[in-house]
Amino acid sequence: MTTCVKCGKKETVMKAGFVRGKQRFLCKNCDYYFTLPKPPEKNIRRKRHQTTIIDIANELGVSNSTVSRALHNHPDINPDTKKAILDKAQELDYQPNQLAHSLVKSRTNTVGIIVPEFLTQFFPNVIVGAQKVLRLAGYNLVIMQSGESYDIEVANTKALLANRVDGLLVSMSHETNNYDHFRNFEKREVPVVYFNRVVEELGTHKVVANDYQGAFAAVEHLIQNGYRRIAHLGGPPNLLISQERLRGYRDALQKYGLLVLPELVIHGDFTAQKAAIYAQYLLDLAESPDAIFAVNDPTAIEILTLAKARELRVPQDLGVVGFSDDPIALYIGSGLTTVKQPTARMGEAAAAMVLGMMRGEEEWLLPKTEVLQAELIIRGSSVRK
């Protein structure tokens, strides 16, 4: 029975046709016509049901514990029963609850890796090497990218901590100058291994290429090809790779009696935009350099692009050497001379190191730095004929 919305009586209300598709009512007590407001639609959401051990047990008429033993390959179970349970689990698309299992075991069998960018092949190659080692050891790799942003890097570490990773591999963003977000892992006794972009301030486990040796070889090669006014477009000064490549540059010049001129040394941030600006500055000097040793290949490629726009001949007017041996280095111009780093090996070494730390192996109880050899790859951008 409908209640009048005006006087509240029920017994005097009668139907009185339709108005715009709605039932109209008339209350004879107060002579009032009205329609009822449309009830709000219920937001019905069908909850996705994930198959559980209980579902399998109910389907087969066995106990939950029997299903659990079968799924965990317990020897104390009838083979026919085990087969029936496994078949039913497959039929119902049963997926084990890894989070619950991890909480019981106090480990997740996952390792996080944070890299600064995917614009070059360097970090994907490192990831491939790390994943190869970790997968053989039964670990999954959770991959995160900071996009060269400190804030995103911090958010990445929080997400990995929240997901209870057992270990972490890190190459820092060029913005990172505060390391408290990494120290949070140490406080929770989660092993951390830094690779490629590392800092001395964190006295922890590291895997790096021999940046000093690679830089020294690169600058020595330029000198031996007749270049004398050699500039260095480097990376962020807080990173060890920048410091070591600068040290190699300086020592090579000093070995051959050449001056290290402050105006020929610039610290950048690994971005192509800054590389173009700084390269332009160097080439605009009253006495411009006749060669540039770049901190990485993307920087070197920006230098080559600018040189071409200015109609400078490479290598006759300007020699250029990069660092990392990006695949494109082989195909740009007459080929970019560069320092090749063992990227996949770096990932393998970092993964092996974090595995040893997670297992508590004595070899990794104290901080250790593993240095991998770099190799000078000579191409057309630096060989004067």
* CATH number for position 72: 1.10.260.40
- Which residues are CB-contacts of 107 (< 8 A; sequence separation ≥ 6)? 164, 166
The pLDDT tens digits for 236-270 are: 998 999 999 999 999 999 999 999 999 999 998 88
User: Is residue 49 domain-resident?
Assistant: no
User: Is residue 385 domain-resident?
Assistant: no
Asked whether 137 and 166 are in contact (CB, 8 A), the reply is no
Model confidence at 44, pLDDT cuts 50, 70, 90, reads very low
Q: Given this model, what pLDDT does residue 38 score?
A: 66
Whether residues 113 and 203 fall in one domain: yes
Beta bridge partners of 338: 377
Of 69, 96, 123, the residue at which a domain comes to its end is 96
The pLDDT tens digits for 191-242 are: 999 999 998 888 889 999 999 999 999 999 999 999 999 999 999 998 999 9
The pLDDT tens digits for 56-74 are: 888 888 888 888 888 877 7
Whether residues 300 and 326 fall in one domain: yes
Q: How far apart are CA 180 and CA 170, in angstroms?
A: 14
Whether residues 290 and 270 fall in one domain: yes
> In the chain, pLDDT over 90 holds for what percent of residues?
62
Amino acid at site 184: N
Whether residues 133 and 229 fall in one domain: no
Q: How far apart are CA 113 and CA 168, in angstroms?
A: 6
Peptide bond into 124 cis (omega under 30): no
- Which residues are CB-contacts of 194 (< 8 A; sequence separation ≥ 6)? 169, 170, 171, 172, 202, 204, 205, 206, 207
Per the structure, the complete domain to which residue 308 belongs is given by 211-342
Q: Given this model, what pLDDT does residue 21 score?
A: 58
Categorise residue 360: left if φ over 0, alpha if ψ from -120 to 50, beta otherwise: left
User: Is residue 102 domain-resident?
Assistant: no
Give how far the C-alpha of residue 215 lies from the chain's centroid of Cα atoms, to the nearest Å. 26
Asked whether the predicted pLDDT for residue 177 surpasses 50, the reply is yes
Lowest pLDDT segment from 1-10, 78-87, 187-196: 1-10
The pLDDT tens digits for 143-159 are: 999 999 999 999 999 99
Q: Given this model, what pLDDT does residue 20 score?
A: 64
Whether residues 146 and 259 fall in one domain: no
**281-296: b (≥16 Cβ within 10 Å) or e:** ebbeeeebbbbbbbbb
Which pair of tokens denotes residue 8?
A: 């509240």
- Other residues' Cβ atoms within 10 Å of the Cβ of residue 266: 19
Asked whether the predicted pLDDT for residue 342 surpasses 70, the reply is yes
Whether residues 21 and 131 fall in one domain: no
How many domains does the chain divide into? Answer: 4
DSSP-assigned letter for residue 238: T
Q: To the nearest 10°, report the CA torsion of 306, 307, 308, 310.
A: 90
Amino acid at site 258: L
Q: Given this model, what pLDDT does residue 40 score?
A: 55
Whether residues 265 and 316 fall in one domain: yes
Task: Taking residues 280-306, report their average pLDDT.
Answer: 95
Q: How far apart are CA 206 and CA 369, in angstroms?
A: 5
User: Is residue 379 domain-resident?
Assistant: no
Whether residues 348 and 205 fall in one domain: yes
Q: Given this model, what pLDDT does residue 96 score?
A: 67
Give me the half-sphere count of Cα atoms (radius 13 Å) on the Cβ side of residue 177: 5
Whether residues 295 and 152 fall in one domain: no
Whether residues 237 and 182 fall in one domain: no
User: Is residue 60 domain-resident?
Assistant: yes
User: Is residue 250 domain-resident?
Assistant: yes
Residue 369 backbone dihedrals phi, psi, to 5 degrees:
-115, 125
User: Is residue 47 domain-resident?
Assistant: no
Q: Given this model, what pLDDT does residue 19 score?
A: 65
Whether residues 224 and 318 fall in one domain: yes
The H or E element spanning position 244 is: helix 240-255
Task: Taking residues 102-131, report their average pLDDT.
Answer: 86
Pick the residue with more confidence: 32 or 211?
211
Pick the residue with more confidence: 85 or 123?
123
Give how far the C-alpha of residue 323 lies from the chain's centroid of Cα atoms, to the nearest Å. 21
pTM metric for this prediction: 0.72
Q: Compute the mean pLDDT over every residue in the chain, rounded to the nearest whole number.
A: 89
Q: Given this model, what pLDDT does residue 46 score?
A: 47
The H or E element spanning position 377 is: strand 375-377
Asked whether 115 and 146 are in contact (CB, 8 A), the reply is yes
User: Is residue 48 domain-resident?
Assistant: no
Asked whether the predicted pLDDT for residue 41 surpasses 70, the reply is no
Beta bridge partners of 147: none
Q: Quick one: which of 3, 232, 50, 195 has its CA closest to 111?
A: 195
**320-358: b (≥16 Cβ within 10 Å) or e:** bbbbbbbeebeebbebbbbbbbbbbbbbbbbbbbbbbbb
* CATH number for position 271: 3.40.50.2300
Whether residues 231 and 288 fall in one domain: yes
Which pair of tokens denotes residue 125?
A: 């190659």
